Structures are given as structure tokens and as C-alpha cells.
Structure 1
Amino acid sequence: MLIGLALSLLFPLLAACSTKKDLNDPANRRTLKIGTLYGSKQDETWFRQQFTDMFELTHEGIDIEVVPAIDWSEQQFEPQDKNGRQKQPDPLEKAKAIMTGSNPVDVMIFDMNMLSTFANENLLKPLDPMLKEDKIDTAEFVPSVIDAIRDAGNNNIYALTPTFMPTALYYNKKIFQDTGVTLPADGMTWDDVFNKAKQLTKGSGKDAIFGFSFNQWGGSGENFWDIQNYVAPLELKIFDDKAEKMLVNSPQWEKAWSTIYDLYKAHVFPRQQDMNVDQPMTDRAQYNPFQGQLFLNGRVAMTLGDYGMINQIQQFNDNADKLKMKKLDWDVVTMPVHATVPGVGGSYSFNSLAGINSKAQNQDDAWEFVKFMNGKEWAKFKSRSTYEMPSRTEFIKEREGMHYNVKAFTQLKPAPWMGSSLNDQKLYRERPNLNMMQQLVNNAYMSVFQGQKSVKQALQDLETKGNDVLQKIKLNPDGPLEGVFDDVYGPAKPMDSVQAEAVPAG
């Protein structure tokens, strides 16, 4: 009995060792099929460098086959319609095809927009049991990253990502110190930020200082895309869940548009023409590669930026003496939040989510790859990226020689992006013409900023126009629609008259 018991305990250990050894045994070669949304044989080298080379180097028994859902090299030869346009394939449907076909991929690498659909349609294998079995503690990852993945997977983990791209609020210390305004802090509300921005705005022409910008390039707030980060945490919708009725003519939307427009009128935001005020006009003037980037040039006090913006700041400061410009004294805090939605702000970009296809023919190697891709060894190398932040908290640190509030990038839960819900994704797939609605909204928004309509009138007109267009789209989901973008907002008022209405800055 003792011998039998000893052998019964020994055999599983030997089997486990054998299985582990087989993963690296060149004599036991297997192929692991990895799917990606876009690619081609021409750029496969880049994909392999980013995702598979290290794995193949350490797993000699596994060969990697890369399978793009949409092959760029083939797509460019698709026929064009009479207007010279090529029909664009649906990335989601193409991804499903390589996951459910007769020879499905084992691993799928994708972005956050598809996670909910993959999870709800049972296209991915839940990773929670394997994480538990291999004693991988998700607490070692950025909590907000894991929370976002769980939220998209109905409280399950269907994919992991080694890196992500967060956003934060960058600010110029010197502008604050010169004006005596208290420096920004983590956890500020949008009202806090805008109040500071108004206090910081001063001057005119090339001496103008602007309090805030939604982006680092200028033209802030002038089109609807600029304020997506502002309204995203509020989860305001353009139309209802059936895409039959507009929801824009509401107090919440009116307040959001009015808030931004009032700040725009007061010239708290830089406008497009402000970017080129001090543009050199002679051939002998020294070229400035940062021309027009008003935050780097010390003319914007606060701006939204992603993690990769640190690269530009570092490059600017390293070359400031050559450009005969002052170095930027800066820091960063969390994205602003709305008082009604505390702890939620900004956006995370997940472009390297890796999940196991539920129909994978090589699930053991697939898990080995996903585990390796999100392990500490991989994170150590990926932490050197100057564009993305590692998901493992152990490897998040300031850049060498720089000092800033690096925790600002990870403290908030990302806000859901407009149109990213599972229902919205389904609607847009079934009715491609719904993509016109974003442009329709932008046209109405611009009618306010061009002085054509008040916020209230523009929203009322948008409701009327939008309801009509939604019904046309319902009847004609993907065919040509006439007259959608006919101008219904009246004659444009000269911009000078709009600017004359602005509250004096200072």
C-alpha cells in the first residue's frame, strides 16, 4: 500500500514534468496559430518582433503562424464602386471568421472594442481557472486595467494585456507659479480645472496664455471630437438603444455644450488660428519642430495627453537650448472627473489584448503564450517602451532622469467610450449608415461655435434632423442616403462677431 501510494503521487509529478518539458522539446514540434486584426506578409516581421519572437526563442518546440483577419496586401486590390471607394471589411466579422472557421486560430490579439462581443458570444476561453491553477495573482496588475477587462467580460477575465495607453492632465508649473494659482492635484473635478483655467488665461497675440486645451495641437473645443473625454464618464447617448429616437435635446447635453462654448468664447481654449501667431515667416528663421504645440511652447497651462506625450516633452527639453527656448517645467495629475461620477475619467487604449479562442486546437500552448506574454519576464522588457505603460504595477516607474507623478496614469477607472457598448456595436454592424450620425452631431456642434445658433436651438434642430435621418437609416441601413448633410443651420455669422461676444480674458 505504501509503495502504491508513493507511485500514485509520483506519476502525476512525472507527467507534469514531461508536459512542461514537451513545451520546449524541438523533437515535439507544434504550430501555434495567432490571429491579429490587421496585417500582411509584408509587415509580419514587425508583428513578430512585438509579440512572438521572445516566446519562440524560449519555446523551441513551438512554431508561430500569424493569421491576419484583414490582409492589407489583398485589401488594396479590392474593386472600387462608381465613386472610387473600396468597400471596407468589417473587422469584427473578419475576426470571427478566423476564430470559427475550419482551421481556427488558437490565440487572438485584439483591441478593447471587441472584448465584450467576443465574451458574450463565447468566442473566448475564460482565463480565471488557469490563472488560479498557475497561481497568477491579478492583484499584481494595475487594478483599473483588470477592472476594465472584467467589466467587458461580465466579471470574468477573457483576455490579458501586457501594456496599455492611459491619459492624464499635464500642466506647466511656471504658469501656475507666475499667476499664483494653486497647482493641480489628483482627483480634481472638471469644474476645478475649468475654474483654474479661467484664472490662468491672459494676454493676446503671441503673448497669450491659454488656461486649458483638450489636445496639444490647438483648435481646442472647436469640434465635437474634442470633448469626448469630457462627456464620456457621463455616458450621454446621441440616440436610444433602438437607434430610432434622438436623445440630444436634454438638460445634460445642453449643459455640456454650453460649458465648453462659454469657455471657448472667453478664449480660455486656444483656437486654430492661435497656433500660427508666432510662426516664423522667413527662410532664415530657425526651424522649430515643435511649432504649433502650444503646451510645449509654454502658452497653454493645462492639456490632456496620453502616456506617450512624455516622449515629446523629453525631446523638447533635451533640445530647448538649441532652439533657444525655455525648458518646460511640468508635471501630471489624474484626468479630471465629474462630481456625479467620482473615480471615473479619461480613456485607456488596449491594443494588445490576448485571449484564447474557445475553438483553439492547441489550447495548452495557447495558454502558455498568453501567460508568457503577460508574465514578469515580458513585462521587464516591455517596461522600456516609451509609448505604452506596463500593466504590471511592479514595472511602472518614472523615466530615467525624470521626476513626475507617474501614479496619475493609473488611479482612475477608464470611462466608457461613446458607442462602445455591446448594443451600440451591434447596431453599427447592422446599420453601417449610423456612422453618419457622428458627422451630423459635429455639424450641429459647429453651428454653435460658428455663431449660427444658440446651444438650445442647435440641439432642437439636431433632434428634429436626427430623428428623420434615423428613420431613413432604419429603412436603408447601408445603402446611399441623399440629403443627410444638407445645411439646415442657417447662414454663418462672421467669426469676428462671435469673438466680440467673448468675455474678456484675464
Structure 2
Amino acid sequence: MRLKKLLSVSLAATLALGLLAGCNGSKAADPEQEKVLRIGVLYGSYDDSYFRQQYTDVYEFTHQNVRIEVVPAIDQSQYRYQDNSQPYVQPDYLDNMKKIMTGSNPVDVVVTDTSVLNQLIKENMVKQLDPLIQEDKFDTSDYVPAVIDGIKDLGEGSLYALTPSFSSSALYYNKKMFTDAGVEPPTDNMTWDDVFNLARRVAKGEGKDRVYGFSFNRYVGNDPFWDMQYSYVNSLQLKTYDDKAETMTVNTPQWTKVWETISKLSKDKVIPDNTSNPMDGSDWSSISSDLFLSGKVAMTIGESYYINEISDANNNASKIKNFKPVDWDVVTLPSHPEKPGVGGNIWLSNTFAINSAAPNADTAWDFIKFINGEDWAKLKSRSNSYEMLARKSYIKPKSGLDYNIQAFYLLKPTPPNDPKQDKLMSEKPGLYSVTDSGRKFFQEVLENKKTPAEALKEWEEKGNKMLQEIKNNPKTQFQEDGTPFVPQEGAAADGTIIKG
């Protein structure tokens, strides 16, 4: 009997392996023809187990004549040993990726975000995939349109990469708050003004009992200046300074309108500001620090994985002091009338492309097909990932829940930042301070000390002076009061000399 069971298990395992190999079109392994597939990633360390578990283990298991090497463009292990007195220098992701794509032993596959991918496409460093897709009749019709179109936009209508998953965000809302206020809840494809008008109608209460209508994020201690930068300003693609980082571009009617809109919402207590903290130090918890879960805001922007946190809290409601389960749903993020249907916060952090100089281009394409195929999506749909699958057929609501899951992928994503801007930030570290200096002027608007137009004009003047300092010396940085300084070589940003 025992022998019979062993034979049955062995036969089942053999059939399963055969099925996996058959589904993915791989040939029988030939140890004498082992191939090495080198995959370049933006950053990594001595431990690449997470990346392997996510993307490569199953492929190696079903393609046993292929051995995969993961090659990070930036080895983050180095930061474990960095002296804390040394100033942090932003690495140049693009240049580091290009280094591992060239030379005597270039990587075959490139895994990167859309910002770096965009520049690699412009420099003809990755292969166009459309001919390979057509030749192999690889089906992309099931892809989320916002994902596939977002990648096509980078290649001016052509595909240079594919991604098996994506991250996204949507507008979460508390159903009960809208019902109690007698206000119709938000819907898909609303404008920002539509959402702000709803927020005014459901906001209520005073002091610590204040319930806000909307928040750009769910965390206590919001900063309206930076909050509006990420979700509101970025979708308009407004810039703080020009492409050469020489002249400020904030003293315009469009910037004025943005500051007028957001400052009024803050002053009217429709959205929380950095003084809106309903807790004292003794009250902190994962619920009280969350404006949405604690019932302090009717609508907020949240990532797709926030669903897991809400579900977990609701399932454990009986164990949480003063907490009632939240009845919620989601709709698409609002968009600006100037850019209808655009503004989805979709992040494609792992796009897979083929190096134009790949020694093993055929194997690279076989791997990309595999992890972007239906079998891989079906397998991954059973796990509770932080990302959503790019194939629509396998995007399902979390087990036991019913919500508008399409809200996470209906909108077209905001175009990615130009990697040249990232390069500027790396070469000129003081640019962050130029943007951050706007916080002081926006705060003066909130305190009714200046009008938005006056504050933006002063930000322009202050920023231009800072940009001139940076132009004179790209290494210039700024103290909190705006005083410029240039860190000496071998010194920390505060002037401390680094020994050794």
C-alpha cells in the first residue's frame, strides 16, 4: 500500500511538471545546454529572494536549462555600512542601469520603472516588442487598458516593455457618512471640483469632533502643501521651475488658481491641515492615526492594498476599543477638466524590457512572455499581493468583499516624470529645498497674511535667488532658513569633518 501511494505521488508530480512545461511552451531541459539569463533590476542587495519568489523561481523550475542571475544597478547593501555623518547622495538610477546594460557582460532583461524606461526607449537601448508579440501571437487584449496604453505612450504608440502587475490608488468613501448627511456619494469620473463640493456638504463638527469631507491621504498630521503636490498638482503637470532649473515657473494664473482652491478648503476645515490632530500622545494607535478608519474623514485617497487594512480592522472590530466597522466603497480618482480621464495614480514599478545588446534575446523574450502570460496571472491571482495583476480577467475583489474594483484602473495614468528631472535632482541636491521653500509662503496664505498671488510672487523671487546660487555651484544646498552653503568634500552637510 505504501509503495502504491509513493508511485501515485510520483506520477502526479510528473504530470504536474509536464503540464507546467506544456502550458508555457518550454522544451525538455538539457543540462549540456544551460543558458544564463541575466536580469538587471534598479536596486537590490545581497538578498534577492523576494524578487526571485515573485518572478523567477517558477520560470527556473519549468525551464531547468536556464539559470537566472539577478544584477542590481545599485547595490543597496553599501548603505548599511555608510557613516551617518556622510551626506546622502541620491544615486543616478538611469546611469547605473545603463552601465549594466553595456560592456562585456550586459544584462539580457531590464526591470525598471517608467521614468527610467522612458529614457532607455529614447536612447534606443531596449528592443521594440511589437514584432515579437505579433510573431508569437502573444495575446495582450486582456491587459488593463490604462496599463498597456501607459506603456505605449512611453514608446509613442509602440510597446517596448510589459508588466505583469501594477499599483494603483482610488478614492475611498464612507457610505454611512453620506447617508447620514443625505448627500449622494461620489461616482466614477468626477472632477476635483465635484469631489470638493461633496466634501463641503458632508464636513461637520467643531474642534476634535470635526469630521472632514476629504483628505489627500489618510494619515493624521497632513501637510496641505506637499499633499496637493502629489495628487493635485502632478496631474496638472505643473512645474516649479523650468527644465534647466534656472527659472521659477510658479507665478502664473494656473498656480494661483491651485493655491486659491486648496487654501480655501483648508481654511474652511473641509480638508485637514498639519494642525488637525485629534489625538494626544497617549491615544495613538493604528486606528486613531488613520483619519478614514477613525471616522474623521468622509473621503480619502488610498492605495489598492489599503483594502487589506480596512478588511483586517473590520474583521477585528470586536477587539478594537471605540471602533465600529467601516462601510466603504471606492470610485476613480477625480480628474481636472483640462485633462479629462487622466490622473490615475498607476505605478508601473516593474516593467520588463529586453536590452538591445542582450546576448540571450530569445531567452529574454521567452521569460517576459512567461511572467506576463495567462498561466502566471492565474497562479498569482491566488495570492494576496500588494499589487494588482495587469490581466483584467484575474483582477478580483478580495474574498468575501463587494466593491468597485474597476476604480483602480479605469483612468489613464498621469505621464511619468522625465528622468532628466531626476538626474537634475541628483546633480543639484539643493533643488528639493527650492520646492520645499514654498511651504512657508503657502502657510502665510493659510494664516491670511498674504493672498495666493502675493505669496506665489514672493516664492518666485526667493526661488530664483536659490536657483542662481545652484547655477553658480550645483553642489549648493540650503539651511532651514534658506542660507546657502556648499558641503566641503569630506564633510557632512552640517560641516562636520568626516575622518578617515
One-letter amino acid of the structure 1 residue matched with residue 76 of structure 2: W
Check conservation: 1:379, 1:395, Cα contact below 8 A.
Answer: yes
The one-character-per-residue Cα deviations of 1:21-52 (angstroms, maximum 9, x if unpaired) are 657333311111111111122x2122211221
Equivalents in 2 of 1:431, 1:88: separation in Å? 10
Equivalents in 2 of 1:176, 1:21: separation in Å? 54
- Counterpart position of 1:14: none
- Counterpart position of 1:359: 357
Equivalents in 1 of 2:473, 2:301: separation in Å? 39
Check conservation: 1:22, 1:28, Cα contact below 8 A.
Answer: no
- Counterpart position of 1:498: none
| Counterpart check, 1:448 vs 2:439 | no
Closer, same or farther: CA 480–146 of 1 in aligned 2, 3 Å: same
| Counterpart check, 1:319 vs 2:316 | yes
Closer, same or farther: CA 154–79 of 1 in aligned 2, 3 Å: farther
How far the C-alpha of 1:206 sits from its partner, in A, is 3.9
- Counterpart position of 1:375: 373
One-letter amino acid of the structure 2 residue matched with residue 294 of structure 1: L
One-letter amino acid of the structure 2 residue matched with residue 438 of structure 1: T
- Counterpart position of 2:31: 26
Q: TM-score, normalised by structure 2?
A: 0.86
What SS does structure 2 have at the residue aligned with 1:342?
Answer: coil
- Counterpart position of 2:11: none
Query: Tell me, which stretches of 5 or more residues in structure 1 are unaligned?
Result: 1-16, 282-286, 489-506
How far the C-alpha of 1:91 sits from its partner, in A, is 1.8
Check conservation: 1:333, 1:405, Cα contact below 8 A.
Answer: yes
24, 42, 58: which one pairs with 1:54?
Answer: 58
How far the C-alpha of 1:483 sits from its partner, in A, is 6.5
How far the C-alpha of 1:69 sits from its partner, in A, is 1.1
Closer, same or farther: CA 85–212 of 1 in aligned 2, 3 Å: same
Closer, same or farther: CA 28–22 of 1 in aligned 2, 3 Å: farther
Closer, same or farther: CA 466–272 of 1 in aligned 2, 3 Å: closer
- Counterpart position of 2:124: 122
23, 27, 44: which one pairs with 1:39?
Answer: 44
Would you say how many aligned residue pairs link Structure 1 and Structure 2? 459
What SS does structure 2 have at the residue aligned with 1:223?
Answer: helix
How far the C-alpha of 1:298 sits from its partner, in A, is 1.7
Equivalents in 2 of 1:292, 1:208: separation in Å? 15
Equivalents in 1 of 2:26, 2:303: separation in Å? 42
Check conservation: 1:111, 1:350, Cα contact below 8 A.
Answer: yes
Q: TM-score, normalised by structure 1?
A: 0.85
- Counterpart position of 2:412: 413
- Counterpart position of 1:343: 341
- Counterpart position of 1:438: 435
One-letter amino acid of the structure 1 residue matched with residue 258 of structure 2: A
The one-character-per-residue Cα deviations of 1:88-124 (angstroms, maximum 9, x if unpaired) are 4322211111111221111111112211111011111
- Counterpart position of 1:186: 188
- Counterpart position of 2:170: 168
Equivalents in 2 of 1:218, 1:143: separation in Å? 34
Equivalents in 1 of 2:481, 2:129: separation in Å? 46
Equivalents in 1 of 2:320, 2:392: separation in Å? 37
Equivalents in 2 of 1:97, 1:249: separation in Å? 40
Equivalents in 1 of 2:281, 2:198: separation in Å? 28
Closer, same or farther: CA 422–480 of 1 in aligned 2, 3 Å: closer
What SS does structure 2 have at the residue aligned with 1:310?
Answer: helix
- Counterpart position of 1:92: 94
Query: Tell me, which stretches of 5 or more residues in structure 2 are unaligned?
Result: 1-21, 485-500
When the two chains are superposed, the root-mean-square deviation of aligned CA atoms in Å is: 2.4
One-letter amino acid of the structure 2 residue matched with residue 453 of structure 1: K
Check conservation: 1:163, 1:382, Cα contact below 8 A.
Answer: no
Closer, same or farther: CA 485–127 of 1 in aligned 2, 3 Å: farther
Check conservation: 1:440, 1:485, Cα contact below 8 A.
Answer: no
Equivalents in 1 of 2:424, 2:100: separation in Å? 22
- Counterpart position of 1:104: 106
Check conservation: 1:167, 1:348, Cα contact below 8 A.
Answer: yes
The one-character-per-residue Cα deviations of 1:440-475 (angstroms, maximum 9, x if unpaired) are 233433343355533222101111111222222223
Equivalents in 2 of 1:485, 1:375: separation in Å? 54
| Greater mean deviation of Cα atoms: 235-244 or 368-377 | 235-244
Q: What does 1:208-223 correspond to in 2, within 5 Å?
A: 208-223=210-225
Closer, same or farther: CA 117–442 of 1 in aligned 2, 3 Å: farther
Closer, same or farther: CA 259–396 of 1 in aligned 2, 3 Å: same
What SS does structure 2 have at the residue aligned with 1:140?
Answer: coil
Equivalents in 1 of 2:447, 2:30: separation in Å? 68
- Counterpart position of 1:289: 286
- Counterpart position of 2:4: none
Structure 1 vs Structure 2: percent identity of aligned residues? Answer: 46
| Counterpart check, 1:267 vs 2:269 | yes
The one-character-per-residue Cα deviations of 1:373-408 (angstroms, maximum 9, x if unpaired) are 111121123333341110011111111100000111
Equivalents in 2 of 1:311, 1:192: separation in Å? 28
| Greater mean deviation of Cα atoms: 388-397 or 134-143 | 134-143
The one-character-per-residue Cα deviations of 1:213-248 (angstroms, maximum 9, x if unpaired) are 000013345332444211222221112233222110
| Greater mean deviation of Cα atoms: 152-161 or 251-260 | 152-161
Check conservation: 1:210, 1:299, Cα contact below 8 A.
Answer: yes
One-letter amino acid of the structure 2 residue matched with residue 107 of structure 1: V
Equivalents in 2 of 1:112, 1:21: separation in Å? 30
How far the C-alpha of 1:438 sits from its partner, in A, is 2.3
Closer, same or farther: CA 79–148 of 1 in aligned 2, 3 Å: same
| Greater mean deviation of Cα atoms: 120-129 or 173-182 | 120-129
The one-character-per-residue Cα deviations of 1:182-231 (angstroms, maximum 9, x if unpaired) are 11111111111101101111112343211000000133453324442112
Equivalents in 2 of 1:311, 1:269: separation in Å? 25
Closer, same or farther: CA 362–443 of 1 in aligned 2, 3 Å: farther
Equivalents in 2 of 1:190, 1:267: separation in Å? 17
How far the C-alpha of 1:79 sits from its partner, in A, is 6.7
Check conservation: 1:142, 1:393, Cα contact below 8 A.
Answer: yes
Closer, same or farther: CA 74–424 of 1 in aligned 2, 3 Å: closer
The one-character-per-residue Cα deviations of 1:335-368 (angstroms, maximum 9, x if unpaired) are 0011221101231111211111111111111111
- Counterpart position of 2:245: 243
Equivalents in 2 of 1:185, 1:99: separation in Å? 45
- Counterpart position of 1:474: 471
Equivalents in 2 of 1:443, 1:138: separation in Å? 48
Closer, same or farther: CA 126–24 of 1 in aligned 2, 3 Å: farther
Closer, same or farther: CA 320–482 of 1 in aligned 2, 3 Å: closer
Equivalents in 1 of 2:409, 2:219: separation in Å? 24
Equivalents in 2 of 1:173, 1:264: separation in Å? 23
- Counterpart position of 1:404: 403
Check conservation: 2:428, 2:476, Cα contact below 8 A.
Answer: no
What SS does structure 1 have at the residue aligned with 2:72?
Answer: strand
How far the C-alpha of 1:429 sits from its partner, in A, is 5.1
How far the C-alpha of 1:78 sits from its partner, in A, is 5.3
Closer, same or farther: CA 154–44 of 1 in aligned 2, 3 Å: same
Equivalents in 1 of 2:250, 2:476: separation in Å? 25
Moved over 6 A (4+): none
- Counterpart position of 1:205: 207
What SS does structure 1 have at the residue aligned with 2:255?
Answer: helix
The one-character-per-residue Cα deviations of 1:40-73 (angstroms, maximum 9, x if unpaired) are 22x2122211221111011000001111111122
